[in-house]
Amino acid sequence: MTVDTAPVPGTAPALGSEPDLEAYLGDPHDPANPVGYPAVLAADERGELLAEGERALDGYGLNAEFVPRALGGRFDRADRLAQVLRAVFRRDTTLGVGYGVTTFIAATPVWTSGTAEQRRWMADLLLRHGKASAGYNELAHGTDFGRAALQARLDGDHFVVTGRKEMVGNLSRADAVTLFARTDDRLGSRSHSHLLLDMAALPAAHRRHLRRYHTAGVRGVLLGGLEFTDCPVPADAVVGDLGSAMETVLRAFQVTRGVLPGMAVGIVDTQLRTVLRFALDRRLYGMPVAELPHARATLVDGFLDLLISDCLATVVARALHVLPEQTSVYSAAVKYLVPKLLQEAAHRLSVVLGARSYLRDGPYAIFQKNLRDLLAATLTHASAAVCQATIIPQLPRLAQQGWRSSPPPPPALFRLADPLPPLDFAGLGLSARGMDSLTATLREYLAGPGNDPAVARLCGLFTAELDRLAEVCAELPPRDRTVIAGRRSFDLTDRYATVLAAAACLGVWWHNQDDPFLRDTPWLLAALSRLAGRLGLDPGAAPDGLERHLFIELLERHEENRGFDLVNRHLAG
């Protein structure tokens, strides 16, 4: 680890002056590196969060990435935040979740609806390397926050909090907790509020830590609970208006759901790199495993799944800035589809690695840890079903309006080097109101002059699929337009998210013609064909040499130690 470039502990480097996090974390394969894979695996075996990793991220000032620039931090772009945290997830998913994600989720409601004083307090705490936790989950109600029972009763100049939260990350060591509490016994959307708690100021006699839950993946994350008994909390702890928590959630979760999948791409980058290294070293039938047709196809498919995932994740993160009125749908779609694609890719890669994919020591042991961690990490914050249930009520209006008449998005949605306007947390739309500019990219390309015939043919498949979806979704019966819809509605969200991914890939290719790889048509054709096949559509025969072309790109990136994602940057080691 290049400690000599670390910032002084307790300070946050200004944007652009901080060291490169990949280089700062050092060679992951170096056994002497305190944050290398050997140390990461040892901490996992102990069920601990890597202490040296936390110290390293404190030294880097990672918490500053979660604090808006206006409050002294470095958070100015959602896509950049995903890229920075991707470096942590490449190294140790447990560290990414236990150090970063829990704090990010806890702080976002404060940035969305908090007072100036609350934002300043949270920012100062994080910039001092403090830890925050988000108290939402209750075992009896799961992710159905509308039924959360922990109660905060107003009593004169303070609230009295009674109840418990379970299975919450970092709750046992949090300096601040964003607590989701029932403040009105009546049913409805105004029954809950967020309370921002300064844990050091709460009387210890009125709160009790509950047992820690141990998990198969992200073993070191401190997952536990907290029980309050008539605990006094200041009245000014309310974040936003009393009873406004659900509205805040609908906005804040767009940001967290829109950013987390981009971080998780780093997990499968490491998985693919590990399996490729094995496949090049291991020989069968007189050749490297990587040259066997099935293994080579699996590696290339994993590369494509990673690129597709990064396209959708990056575009949705940028949409938070460029199309904030539409991201209620996009953020749910990316949080649903990208984890699914990444999990499927990791499973297929495990087949190439074979029995070594289960080994907990040796040169490929990071694979089994990441495989367990990926399943756990992608459940963080919102499951697939919750995200699909967010999309379902909006499908009919999208079918009647958005998929036929939405204007195409501005090119800045896709141009990775373009600046972005500030993210207005409070300005995020509660629903997309039937608008969908991202899929309009498909029709825009087809209507334009001089388009590539092969690309246009594939785009035609997705626009036809969108037309079919519009017919079905417009006729959904009332029950199937709600969160208690049947399987058909959930299947429709899967197909729609896949079309969104195709539009994202097209836009990234079309609007980044100055990038030598991104402007290369073969990867786009392969990605669109793969997505079409996922929908059961016939993409036609692949051009001769397409797989070999992508395999060579994969090998070159491996040999030059560059990332397998869109940014294609040099990595440590």
Same domain, yes or no, for 292 and 235?
A: no
Same domain, yes or no, for 194 and 231?
A: yes
pLDDT of residue 423: 97
| Cβ–Cβ under 8 Å, residues 433 and 325 | yes
> Tokens representing 266?
């780093």
The structural domain count of the chain equals: 3
Same domain, yes or no, for 47 and 117?
A: yes
Alpha-carbon torsion (317, 321, 325, 326), positive or negative: negative
| Cβ–Cβ under 8 Å, residues 224 and 213 | yes
| Cβ–Cβ under 8 Å, residues 75 and 66 | yes
pLDDT of residue 5: 35
Q: Report phi then psi at 107, rounded to 5.
A: -80, -30
CATH code, domain carrying 208: 2.40.110.10
Within a domain: 185 = yes
Same domain, yes or no, for 446 and 520?
A: yes
Within a domain: 323 = yes
pLDDT of residue 203: 95
Q: Is the pLDDT of residue 7 over 50?
A: no
Within a domain: 572 = no
| Domain termination residue (choose one: 239, 255, 276) | 239
| Domain termination residue (choose one: 178, 211, 239) | 239
* 34-63: average pLDDT: 97
Within a domain: 20 = yes
Same domain, yes or no, for 431 and 294?
A: yes
Q: Is the pLDDT of residue 12 over 70?
A: no
Same domain, yes or no, for 146 and 96?
A: no
Same domain, yes or no, for 461 and 350?
A: yes
Within a domain: 571 = no
CATH code, domain carrying 362: 1.20.140.10
| Residues 458-471 pLDDT 10s | 999 999 999 999 99
| Residues 349-359 pLDDT 10s | 999 999 999 99
Q: Is the pLDDT of residue 257 over 60?
A: yes
Same domain, yes or no, for 9 and 45?
A: yes
Neighbour tally for 139: CB within 10 Å: 11
Same domain, yes or no, for 506 and 384?
A: yes
DSSP track, 56-117: HHHHHTGGGGGSBGGGTS-B--HHHHHHHHHHHHHH-HHHIIIIIIHHHHHHHHHHHH--HH
250: left (phi over 0), alpha (psi -120 to 50) or beta: alpha
Within a domain: 70 = yes
Say which residues have a Cβ less than 8 Å from residue 81's Cβ, sequence separation at least 6: 65, 66, 75, 104, 259, 317
* 396-413: average pLDDT: 95
Same domain, yes or no, for 371 and 235?
A: no
| Cβ–Cβ under 8 Å, residues 524 and 553 | no
375 or 82: which leads in pLDDT: 82
Q: Is the pLDDT of residue 115 over 70?
A: yes
CATH code, domain carrying 14: 1.10.540.10
Q: Report phi then psi at 553, rounded to 5.
A: -60, -40
| Residues 276-314 pLDDT 10s | 999 999 999 999 999 999 999 999 999 999 999 999 999
Neighbour tally for 80: CB within 10 Å: 17
Q: Is the pLDDT of residue 247 over 50?
A: yes
- The rounded distance, in Å, linking the Cα atoms of 310 and 505 is 9
Lowest mean pLDDT among 38-42, 73-77, 169-173, 442-446: 169-173
Lowest mean pLDDT among 212-216, 243-247, 318-322: 212-216
The H or E element containing residue 343 is: helix 327-353
Q: What angle do CA 502, 506, 511 make, to 5 degrees?
A: 150
Same domain, yes or no, for 353 and 233?
A: no
Same domain, yes or no, for 163 and 287?
A: no
pLDDT of residue 14: 56
* 4-31: average pLDDT: 68
pLDDT of residue 483: 78
| Residues 358-372 pLDDT 10s | 999 999 999 999 999
| Domain termination residue (choose one: 212, 239, 266) | 239
Q: Is the pLDDT of residue 228 over 70?
A: yes
Burial of 392 (0-12, 13-18, 19+ CB in 10 A): buried
| Residues 474-515 pLDDT 10s | 999 989 888 788 899 999 999 999 999 999 999 999 999 999
Q: Is the pLDDT of residue 378 over 80?
A: no
Within a domain: 50 = yes
What's the domain range around 221? 134-239
Going by DSSP bridges, is the β-strand pair 176-182/192-198 parallel, antiparallel, or unpaired?
antiparallel
Within a domain: 468 = yes
pLDDT of residue 188: 81
